[in-house]
Amino acid sequence: MEKALISIIVPVYNIENYLDKCIKSLVNQTYENLEILLIDDGSTDRSGQKCDEWAQKDSRIQVIHKPNGGVSAARNRGLKEAKGEYIGFVDGDDYIDKHMYEQMYQCLCETKSEACFCNIYYAKDDEVLSESELNFEKVNLKKIVMQTMFEKNNQNFPVWNKLMKKECIETIQFDETIKIYEDGLFNLECLDKIEKIAFVKEHFYYYVVSRKNSALHEFNIEKHVTVLDAMIKMNHILAKNQIEARFLQQADFIGKVYLYEQIAKRKNLSLDFTTYKKVIKQYLKKGLLKQKIGFKNKLKIIGAVYFTKQYVKFTKARKDEK
């Protein structure tokens, strides 16, 4: 019996120096029944041309050229075009182990799950710098996975270390208004539709960090403010699933509101933080500071709300040190 078709969605934008390595890792998969969707998001370098060249070499590759709209728009276009029974995502400047989709598909079949996670290597060129330490059971209920996503040092937000059954997530799209944490929001929305999640412990995905890090002073504040909207939406999904252990997320949310507001003022940007502050008041009214959220998180909240200038100065200094 023929194995199920897996659609791999790859957003591509101005990554000509990384793209060949990424696509080579896809076409060399030991799992061969693949549909590889290369979504050229209006690249201005040779990325689009490289996509077309690869499509000439491998009939499983489909190239879609579209005007630039951002990574969420590119992934949504891929979701619209995908014909596979399962969906995977790979960023065009990353690469994967040749056994990744074979092992994840096998695990899905064995466990009769709707989604599968694997571990991640963080790499620069061919050098592995660090690795994720996800440690789920082979089969997990969604509530356990949701809770773990918000634990300290979580590494569960990205979409690209996952394989998901299309019929479970076909009504879900990436929110194109969210520029930061769009992965986390999409994942939670998908998990909300899924009951069982499988896990393989191997590190199959190589996330290339060399071109993706940026310092706070380089941030586009308008884009970063959208993380607050993502956090509010994620909180609703967690509450719907009766997950109350989300105080770390709330502490982070509160700190970001006051930090981003001060940065916006310095840049003379007319961004409205009223809605976010209403949410903060709701958290505090519900007795957030009386909960067992850890001393550091309580300090973070108190500093952000009551000593905003000092909090912003301290946070900026710590970011600059990294």
| Residue 156: per-residue pLDDT | 63
Structural domains in the chain (count): 2
Let me know if residue 1 belongs to a domain: no
Q: What is the pLDDT of residue 79?
A: 97
Domain co-membership, 200 together with 253: no
Region 114-137: mean pLDDT is 90
Residue 302 included in any domain: yes
Residues 55 and 172 in one domain: yes
- Domain end (from 208, 236, 258): 208
The pLDDT score that the predictor gives to residue 218 is 58
Global pTM value: 0.90
Q: Is 94 left (phi over 0), alpha (psi -120 to 50) or beta?
A: beta
> What's the confidence (pLDDT) of residue 294?
84
Residue 271 lies in a domain: yes
Same domain membership, residue 279 and residue 246: yes
Together in a domain, 168 and 295: no
The mean-pLDDT minimum among 130-144, 163-177, 186-200 falls in: 130-144
CATH number of the domain that residue 114 is part of: 3.90.550.10
Quick one: average pLDDT of 275-283? 93
Domain interval for residue 309? 216-321
145 and 292 housed in the same domain: no
Average pLDDT, rounded, for the chain: 90
Same domain assignment for residues 181 and 34: yes
208, 228, 252 - which closes a domain: 208
174 and 104 in one domain?
Answer: yes
Dump pLDDT digits (tens) for 86-123.
Answer: 999 999 999 999 999 999 999 999 999 999 999 999 99
Q: Given a cut of 50, is residue 71 above it in pLDDT? A: yes
- pLDDT interval class at 126 (50, 70, 90): confident
Tens digits of residue pLDDT in 203-238: 999 999 876 544 444 578 999 999 999 999 988 898
Position 157 scores a pLDDT of 76
Q: Is the pLDDT of residue 151 over 70?
A: no
Instruction: Kindly report the backbone phi and psi dihedral angles of residue 52, in degrees, each rounded to the nearest multiple of 5, phi listed first.
Output: -65, -40
Q: Output the pLDDT for position 217.
A: 43
Q: Which residue, 168, 185, 208, sits at the end of a domain?
A: 208
What are 21-57's pLDDT values in tens digits?
A: 999 999 999 999 999 999 999 999 999 999 999 999 9
Task: Kindly tell me if the per-residue pLDDT of 257 is higher than 50.
Answer: yes
Measure CA of the first residue to CA of the last residue in the chain; give whole Å. Answer: 52
CA distances from 280 to 40, 189, 235 (A): 40, 23, 13
Q: Which helix (H) or strand (E) holds 202?
A: strand 196-208
**H helices of the chain, where?**
16-27, 47-57, 71-81, 100-111, 142-149, 166-169, 182-191, 221-240, 247-266, 274-285, 295-306, 308-321
149 CB-near residues (< 8 Å, 6+ apart): 156, 157, 184, 187, 188
Question: Is the per-residue pLDDT at 303 higher than 80?
Answer: yes
Do 258 and 136 lie in a common domain? Answer: no
